[in-house]
A and B are shown apart, each in its own frame.
Chain A
Amino acid sequence: MDTTSSLHLAQMAFPDAVPAITLAHYLFVSAAMFTMGLVGFLTRRNMIIMFLCTELMFQGAGLALIAFGRHHLGADGQTFVIFVLCVAAAEAAMALALVVLLFRHKETLSAQAWKELNG
């Protein structure tokens, strides 16, 4: 079976792309999400918000992966994203637990409260 026919077969499995929405649109959304996350992470002090911002960055990157995957008609991107989601879920559980613990110590959610953890 030659490559052209196999690519054709693969494309058959996908629904038709919306012609007006191109790869660039997806990447723009992805970049926007990532930037929002980054800016949020850098500017906010609340640990839960900061954590949510990291999740936002995660999802931005994930969106870019899916978009590229679709663009190249491969399953790799989506596969990766599923793994990333799993890891992110586990990490979220851990991180929230840590945040709860930290809150119990200092009765505040501010990251500034932990300044003494310096070198």
Chain B
Amino acid sequence: MINTTLLSNLLAFAPDTHAATTHATDHAIAATEVGTGPKWILLIVGLPLLSSILSLVYAMIGNKTKLPAWTTVAAAGTAFLCTIAMYLNFDGTPYTVHAFDWIQVHFGEKSMIANFSFYIDTLTIYWMLFVTGLATCIALYASEYMSHDIGTSYCRFFGAFGLFVFSMACLVMGDNFLMLYLGWEGVGLCSYLLIGYFYKKPEAVAAAKKAFIVNRIGDLGLALGIYLIFVHFGTLEYAVLFSDPKLLGYVDSAMTGNFAAIPAIAQWIPLLLMIGAFGKSAQFPLYVWLPDAMEGPTPVSALIHAATMVTAGVYLIARTYPLFLASESALPIVAWIGTITALLAATIGMAQFDIKRIMAYSTVSQLGYMFAGLGVLTPTGGAYHVLTHAFFKALLFLCCGAVMHGFAGQLDLRKLSGLRKVKGWGIVSLGMFVGCINLAGVPFTAGYFSKDTIIAETFVTPGYSMIGWILLFTAGLTAYYTFRVFFRVFMGPVEYHPGEEHHDDDHGHDDHAEDHGHAGDFHPHAPGWAINTVLMILTVCSIAATGLYFVGGDKDAHTKHYAQTMVMSSTAAFESPYSEHAIHAAHEAHTPNAGAGPRGTIDHALEVPVFGGDPHKMMYYISAGFGIVGIALAWFLHLFGRTNAAECKMDPIARMFGPIPKWAENKWYVDEIYWAILVTPLRVASHIFHWIDKLLVDGIVNLFGILPRVFAWVIRPSQSGVLQGYAVSMAGGIAILLLAVFVIILQGGAS
């Protein structure tokens, strides 16, 4: 018996969940249990949209205050409170909240129903809690961060910000795939608008276009996946799809490794959805847009490009996990792509000097971990890492943003040093430290536990230990590049140089620090109360997220911690048959197919202890080891004995590697390769088509335009201006006509 198929959220709450087998009939009954929820939940979606509209109105009436920021903070904050209320009121039964009828097309026996309504289950709540919470914090942060631009641009920023939160809410809360698609495209649009916020900067415009175009490739996959879902399952609604007996039958087959019983079309669906997820979540080979997206304002990088939007791909796969389980190749591909991305991005991140870029590559890398987690059958691990990463990565970005804001756009770690000792930068340094230990996986931090959940699972699932080792190695690299930033920028001797945005009249007030080591009369501009408050909140949240690993477990549902509880009662519910508990259960139950599993026999899992112990427990030590080695290396190479900002012990070592660090700094030339194999051929083709259009198509059209003119040119001389000439032609014409009449009459007479 496969007790792992806690597929349906509904089933998870059935009294005999543990013993439940997935019989189609159970689900058919369960499908009717999706209740309707209270209407105030619509506020979560509606308020950000309202704030967006209000911001545009402020722009139209020429507002010159921070009003748009406060409106957005209030709207997002209220949405957050509503989300908390939704969480507290949730009784375990998923429900839908209907806003209005949107698309209802009936043809023949089929009908396509996609209402503007929202599906609330634990996965939705889990996601919305951090989306709205972080949106509130980051809007508050941005109120100060964007204060240089007060006026129309300020309104524009918060207009797009509100629209983003609205779109994200549609994406996460929608009760059907079209709502998800609407939100998906909406967040893409807002991402484009906000990356290109500094639209006078050519790099920002290019980055915005790149993000939008690369995402189009992914979105095509998502759209095709949604079509296939409708073609094959005849519905787009989650409540109907995830209780479809056909789908549940597929998952049952998959659980015994019998993939031949699943039609190919159903196996194609996740492959297409996956492409969408790779695009939005910046996975190889579609990750190239995310580092460039750092051209946008830092709050945008923190909210959209680190914490929320880029996790939409993880959400998509978690939400449609049963579909992914039904495909033999989808989850292995997800696992491998995630792993490759994690490693590749980490190696690039190691060689960058721009601290915001390092954080961007780190985001790509950590998203790779989440995908690897999903791929190795632990949606819990993926979702847990999403949550912890959302907090600590937002924190890291906001700290980088504070540095950028205070040092006139300076982000080069070779030009900043020892900020910890500069007056007014204590909170930023503390926040950065907490973010770094989380990212580096220092033992007993949230990032440590969530990363281990994923890595441990790679060793228990047959055939994935290679992924496990790569991810462990990447964890070491992560620790190294994370603390490289911290040790270079926040520790060591005090030295700083302003960035390019430095103007003499800027930062006129005097909260200057010690005046040594920096150029001219530049005074760093220490963050104000809004930034500091947000950094403190996020620091506390990042630390508190550790606690989630120890609380929130549910004995009845056999879950160990909060994230698992939340995932296990949603459509993403899946417990790997290779996990400890499942193996014991399978052995106790002695059902006929106890030994079979989706990735090889379950017994296999028991035979591969890692370092002679349970992988889940051993991983605590192994991954801690990798993390600490990475940090130690960073300390030795980047802090120990360093006397100025620009030089450290790493420099001679880097030179020993020859051109390799240069290649890594240039992102392994992936952009150049794409340019050569994709952009250039497309550009050449577009030129060819341009000329075909210009010569052939336009040529034919112009030919028909020219013909009458040529004809006119030929006969024009006959209009001589001599009146008698015309009269003669007329008379001649009449004569010819008469002659013709005569001939006809004569012939007629003859016959």
A53-69 at interface with B (beta carbon < 8 Å) = none
Chain A residue at smallest Cβ distance from B721: A118
Contact B723 A38 (CB under 8 A): no
Task: Name the distance in Å between B655's Cβ and chain A's nearest Cβ.
Answer: 84
Cβ–Cβ < 8 Å partners of A117 in chain B: 721
Q: A6 contacts the other chain (Cβ, under 8 Å)? A: no
Q: B89 contacts the other chain (Cβ, under 8 Å)? A: no
Q: A33 contacts the other chain (Cβ, under 8 Å)? A: no
Contact A115 B724 (CB under 8 A): no
Contact B720 A50 (CB under 8 A): no
Main secondary structure of the interface of A (DSSP, over half): helix
Main secondary structure of the interface of B (DSSP, over half): helix
Residues of A within 8 A of B (CB): 38, 41-43, 45, 50, 111-112, 114-119
Q: B727 contacts the other chain (Cβ, under 8 Å)? A: yes
Contact A119 B719 (CB under 8 A): yes
Render B724-735 as a binary contact track against A, CB cut-off 8 A, 1 for contact.
100110010000
Contact B721 A115 (CB under 8 A): yes
Docked pose: A71 CA to B720 CA in angstroms: 43
Docked pose: A112 CA to B725 CA in angstroms: 11
Chain A residue at smallest Cβ distance from B724: A42
Contact B723 A114 (CB under 8 A): yes
Docked pose: A117 CA to B723 CA in angstroms: 10
Task: Name the distance in Å between A74's Cβ and chain B's nearest Cβ.
Answer: 23
Contact A42 B727 (CB under 8 A): yes
Contact B721 A114 (CB under 8 A): yes
Contact B717 A119 (CB under 8 A): yes
Cβ–Cβ < 8 Å partners of A119 in chain B: 716-721
Docked pose: A45 CA to B723 CA in angstroms: 9
Contact B719 A41 (CB under 8 A): no
Task: Name the distance in Å between B730's Cβ and chain A's nearest Cβ.
Answer: 9
Q: B722 contacts the other chain (Cβ, under 8 Å)? A: yes
Cβ–Cβ < 8 Å partners of A115 in chain B: 720-722
Contact A112 B731 (CB under 8 A): no
A111 and B723 contact, Cβ closer than 8 Å, known pairs A38-B731, A42-B728, A42-B731: yes
Chain B residue at smallest Cβ distance from A50: B723
Report which of B720, B721, B722, B727 forms a contact with A41, defined as CB distance below 8 A.
B727
Contact B724 A111 (CB under 8 A): yes
22 A-B residue pairs with Cβ-Cβ distance under 8 Å, sorted by A, are A38-B731, A41-B724, A42-B724, A42-B727, A42-B728, A42-B731, A45-B724, A50-B723, A111-B722, A111-B723, A111-B724, A112-B722, A115-B720, A115-B721, A115-B722, A118-B719, A118-B721, A119-B717, A119-B718, A119-B719, A119-B720, A119-B721
Cβ–Cβ < 8 Å partners of B719 in chain A: 118-119
Docked pose: A114 CA to B723 CA in angstroms: 8
Render B484-515 as a binary contact track against A, CB cut-off 8 A, 1 for contact.
00000000000000000000000000000000
How many residue pairs link A and B with beta carbons under 8 A? The number is: 30
Cβ–Cβ < 8 Å partners of B717 in chain A: 119
Contact B721 A116 (CB under 8 A): yes
B693-727 at interface with A (beta carbon < 8 Å) = 716-724, 727
Task: Name the distance in Å between A111's Cβ and chain B's nearest Cβ.
Answer: 4
Find the residue from B722, B723, B727 having the highest chain A CB count within 10 A: B723
Cβ–Cβ < 8 Å partners of B721 in chain A: 114-119
Residues of B within 8 A of A (CB): 716-724, 727-728, 731
Cβ–Cβ < 8 Å partners of A114 in chain B: 721, 723
Task: Name the distance in Å between B594's Cβ and chain A's nearest Cβ.
Answer: 99
Chain A residue at smallest Cβ distance from B728: A42
Contact B720 A118 (CB under 8 A): yes
Docked pose: A27 CA to B731 CA in angstroms: 19
Cβ–Cβ < 8 Å partners of A41 in chain B: 724, 727
Task: Name the distance in Å between B709's Cβ and chain A's nearest Cβ.
Answer: 13
Docked pose: A41 CA to B722 CA in angstroms: 13
Task: Name the distance in Å between A27's Cβ and chain B's nearest Cβ.
Answer: 15
Docked pose: A112 CA to B727 CA in angstroms: 13
Task: Name the distance in Å between A80's Cβ and chain B's nearest Cβ.
Answer: 20
Cβ–Cβ < 8 Å partners of B720 in chain A: 115, 118-119
Cβ–Cβ < 8 Å partners of A50 in chain B: 723
Docked pose: A89 CA to B716 CA in angstroms: 33
Docked pose: A119 CA to B712 CA in angstroms: 10
Task: Name the distance in Å between A51's Cβ and chain B's nearest Cβ.
Answer: 11
Given contacts A42-B731, A116-B721, 14 further A-B contacts (CB under 8 A): A38-B731, A41-B727, A42-B727, A43-B724, A45-B724, A50-B723, A111-B724, A115-B720, A115-B721, A118-B719, A118-B720, A118-B721, A119-B718, A119-B719
Chain A residue at smallest Cβ distance from B717: A119
Docked pose: A116 CA to B723 CA in angstroms: 11
Docked pose: A111 CA to B721 CA in angstroms: 9
Docked pose: A104 CA to B14 CA in angstroms: 108
Docked pose: A13 CA to B200 CA in angstroms: 97
Cβ–Cβ < 8 Å partners of B724 in chain A: 41-43, 45, 111
Cβ–Cβ < 8 Å partners of B731 in chain A: 38, 42
Docked pose: A45 CA to B720 CA in angstroms: 15
Docked pose: A118 CA to B719 CA in angstroms: 5
Docked pose: A41 CA to B723 CA in angstroms: 10
Docked pose: A45 CA to B727 CA in angstroms: 12
Task: Name the distance in Å between A41's Cβ and chain B's nearest Cβ.
Answer: 6
Cβ–Cβ < 8 Å partners of B723 in chain A: 50, 111, 114
Docked pose: A45 CA to B724 CA in angstroms: 8
Docked pose: A91 CA to B716 CA in angstroms: 28
Task: Name the distance in Å between A52's Cβ and chain B's nearest Cβ.
Answer: 14
Docked pose: A50 CA to B181 CA in angstroms: 81
Task: Name the distance in Å between B604's Cβ and chain A's nearest Cβ.
Answer: 95
Docked pose: A112 CA to B723 CA in angstroms: 7
Give the top 5 A-B pairs by smallest Cβ distance, nearest first: A118-B721, A119-B719, A119-B716, A115-B721, A111-B723
Task: Name the distance in Å between B722's Cβ and chain A's nearest Cβ.
Answer: 6
Docked pose: A119 CA to B731 CA in angstroms: 20
Chain B residue at smallest Cβ distance from A114: B721
